[in-house]
Amino acid sequence: MGRKKKNRGANRNTRQKGDNEVTVRRTERKTYEEAEKKNETFEKYYKDQNIISDEAEWKKFMEVNATILPTAFRITGSRRHAFELRDLMKREHIPKLIQIQLEIDQKSEPIKPLLWYPNELGWQHSASRMTIKKDPIFQTFHRWLVAETEVGNISRQEAVSMIPPLLLDVKPNHWVLDMCAAPGSKTAQIIEAIHANDAQEIGIPSGIVIANDSDSKRSYMLVHQTKRLRSPCLLVTNHDAQHFPNIHLKKSSPPVQFDRILVDVPCSGDGTMRKNLTIWSNWNIGNAIGLHPTQVNILLRGAQLAKEGGRLVYSTCSLNPLENEAVVAEVLRRSRGNLILVDVNDRLPELRKVPGMTSWKVMSKEGSWVSSLDDINPKYRKKYAKSLWMPPDVEKLNLTRCIRIYPHLQDTGGFFIAVFEKIGIIKDVSVLDDTTSNDENGGENSITESVDNVEADSTTIKYECNDDVNDIEEMNQDDSVSTKRPSSTNQSIKGSHKRIRTNESTTTFKSNCENEEEKPKSKQTGEVFIFLGSDNEDIPLIREFYGLSEDFKTDQLLVRSENEKNKILYLVSDSVKQVLSATDVHKLRLVNTGIKIFTRQDTNEPVKCPFRFNAEGMYTVYPYLSNKRVINFGLKEVRILLSEPTPLFDQFDEKIREQLESFEIGCIVAYIDPSQEEEIVFRRTKVPIVLPIWRAHKSLNLLYRKEDRKVLELRVQSYFNEEK
């Protein structure tokens, strides 16, 4: 959330182009409406590709493509009060917003739910920046949105980007790999699906989400984005997905195969033109041609890593058949019948889409249509994959099962999705015409380094993400468009191949973050992951003090620092522990895992147990606590807690005060069930609130960050508003 506006106002910008560094002068920042949105090559290319045959529809497509993208967001699904939040928004904000928007901004579409998104949890509005800035009702709504986003209750995400995780159909017991995950919008949705049953079931889901990205800076962004979801089932890694390593949980066991794999590849991103002006000015065919081999290789590696009967979803924010249908066709060919396209037409029935293309052409980088590789100057042939061209058996591949989404269909960005099921073992995808193999997996299930030995021109290829880092950061700013370069314009897929170090006797895993340059400043000390042993002396103390049930698995607690003994205890799920204990874990470049459950509190007061709860892990650990350190609060007490940093016991009613005094100094937990409030008659049941509090000598201290406090304040306030 830290990016400041001043960066975007800079009018000098240094751009890396091949080996030559050139300085380009940026024109004054223009709004999307003001900027010129024309690109003849783009228009000619897609017109000739016949992506839309009807003339009137083509016009509409071009027209909508040149308008600014609406803002979309999701109310996050797994959090227990998602429905409560949705209802509150519908009741308190939506009617006023619609009214105001109609009055001052008739051109824009009023805020509305995305019809195809389940349970009215996805929303979209196209109010202009002016409207949001000037109108007090919009400002209030925007502030609410930002506050809820900061604590992970709302996710800003492009509407089309919400589709792949829905079609991935993730269940709480699934092992899921998200191959190109940063900045993490779709990972967040997957995590929510893993936790979908949390409200009904006690315990940590048995599934796991491994979220990977080859760009180390972006993988830290991914950590930041997903942290808000507080899941012990998440493991973040940093690999080139083309060579994602095999993981053997035991020496003799076969490599882990995943139930679900998301392959949201780097792409040229011309589906993002409605928010990314650089696409209008820079569009060229070279990016798609250059990215195609990487896309094929990543999808193939995904296909190998999937379980038989498992599902893969391939997606791009590009309209280009060379990055879409051509990739799908090549991967189907190489999997030799062991991968099939799934017909998902009956899913999301309200979603307007068109079928995948069954015919396309290839344009050379020089701009002429070329019917085969033979038409390319032999000098440049190595830059073109054979698989760019339509295969002869294209009709048999069911490419119409792919999904294309065009901006004019429902006022979104452009997008492509293909859903696969793996129906047989994919032994060796390097067959047919490729020979080079990748040694990262010791030759096992090898894939080719590049498709058809094509040279990926990594200095010039650019890729885009529809949910880019800046996009998410802009949540806190305004809805202006991005004129930035893609944050990782070049395919930095080589990376440094540092490995984690494993110390088997103590289960210590050195993370890969030793490269000072690659690491954010705050993380410059090498991180380790050390599970607490059964003889750890702090555990019995914690169990006794809080009445922590034996069902809470303390062997899933770990520390991430060798120096500060048991300072912060993180919890991971059983499946994450299995992966961290795998025989070849040293091959994994770990970035992050675990949620904070206990922190050793520095205090001068005499305490029996210095370990306190963290807001991050509070809801996870709460079901395992006895009543020993739990106190029932009403909303009145919550208001006192929020009124100042350290309210005195005296500020509470006598009954509560007596209870507070009866606790020893240390952490306590306040349980609040708003539906039990006597003074307020709610129209709907409310979800309970659980708060970690430090009980000091004479006062209390709510152990919440500023952002969490703000949201709690809004929530409590909304209950009283509802009553009015």
Ligand X SMILES: C[S@@+](CC[C@H](N)C(=O)[O-])C[C@H]1O[C@@H](n2cnc3c(N)ncnc32)[C@H](O)[C@@H]1O
Q: Can you tell me which of 78, 126, 294, 445 binds ligand X, judged by CB under 6 A?
A: 294
Given 267, 317, 465, 667, which residue is catalytic?
A: 317
CB of 220 to ligand X, least distance (A): 11
Binding of ligand X by 192 (CB under 6 A): no
Q: Can you tell me which of 71, 153, 185, 231 binds ligand X, judged by CB under 6 A?
A: 185
Binding of ligand X by 488 (CB under 6 A): yes
Q: Which of residues 295-324 bind ligand X (CB under 6 A)?
A: 298
Strand, coil or helix: 504: coil
Stretch that binds ligand X, among 62-70, 176-184, 654-662, 713-721 (CB under 6 A): 176-184
CB of 287 to ligand X, least distance (A): 13
Which phi and psi (to 5°) does residue 234 adopt? -105, 140
Here's the x/- map for ligand X, 122-151, by CB under 6 A: it reads as ------------------------------
DSSP classification of residue 492: -
Size of the chain in residues: 724
CB of 146 to ligand X, least distance (A): 19
HSE, CB side, 13 Å, CA atoms: give it for residue 604: 0
Q: Specify the residue, 186 or 596, whose C-beta has the smaller distance to ligand X.
A: 186
Which phi and psi (to 5°) does residue 663 adopt? -80, 145
Q: Distances from the Cα of 57 to the Cαs of 45, 50, 88, 159, in angstroms?
A: 16, 12, 39, 21
Binding of ligand X by 491 (CB under 6 A): yes
Q: Is 181 annotated as a binding residue?
A: yes
Torsion of CA 574, 577, 579, 580, to 10 degrees: 180
CA distance 404 to 352: 9
CA distance 574 to 552: 11
Name the residue whose CB lies closest to ligand X.
180
Binding of ligand X by 493 (CB under 6 A): yes
Binding of ligand X by 180 (CB under 6 A): yes
Binding of ligand X by 181 (CB under 6 A): yes
Q: Specify the residue, 71 or 491, whose C-beta has the smaller distance to ligand X.
A: 491
Which phi and psi (to 5°) does residue 723 adopt? -65, -35
CA distance 94 to 92: 6
Q: Which of residues 419-478 bind ligand X (CB under 6 A)?
A: 465, 467
Give the interface size with ligand X as a residue count (CB under 6 A): 25
CB of 386 to ligand X, least distance (A): 21
Binding of ligand X by 241 (CB under 6 A): yes
CB of 492 to ligand X, least distance (A): 8
Q: Is 186 annotated as a binding residue?
A: yes
Beta strand 154-156 pairing with 71-75: antiparallel
What is the DSSP annotation of 108-171? SPPPEE-TTSGGG-EEEE---HHHHHH-HHHHHHHHHHHHHHHTTSEEE--TGGGHHHHHHT--
Q: Which of residues 56-85 bind ligand X (CB under 6 A)?
A: none
* 267 CB-near residues (< 8 Å, 6+ apart): 288, 291, 295, 316, 317, 318, 320, 323, 463, 464
Q: Specify whether 317 is catalytic.
A: yes
- Asked if 43 and 270 touch (Cβ cutoff 8 Å), the reply is no
CB of 187 to ligand X, least distance (A): 7
Binding of ligand X by 690 (CB under 6 A): no
Q: Which residues are annotated as a binding site for S-adenosyl-L-methionine?
A: 180-186, 213, 240, 264
Q: Which residues are annotated as a binding site?
A: 180-186, 213, 240, 264
Interface residues with ligand X (CB under 6 A)?
Answer: 161, 179-186, 213-215, 218, 240-242, 264, 266, 294, 298, 465, 467, 488, 491, 493
Annotated active-site positions, please? Answer: 317
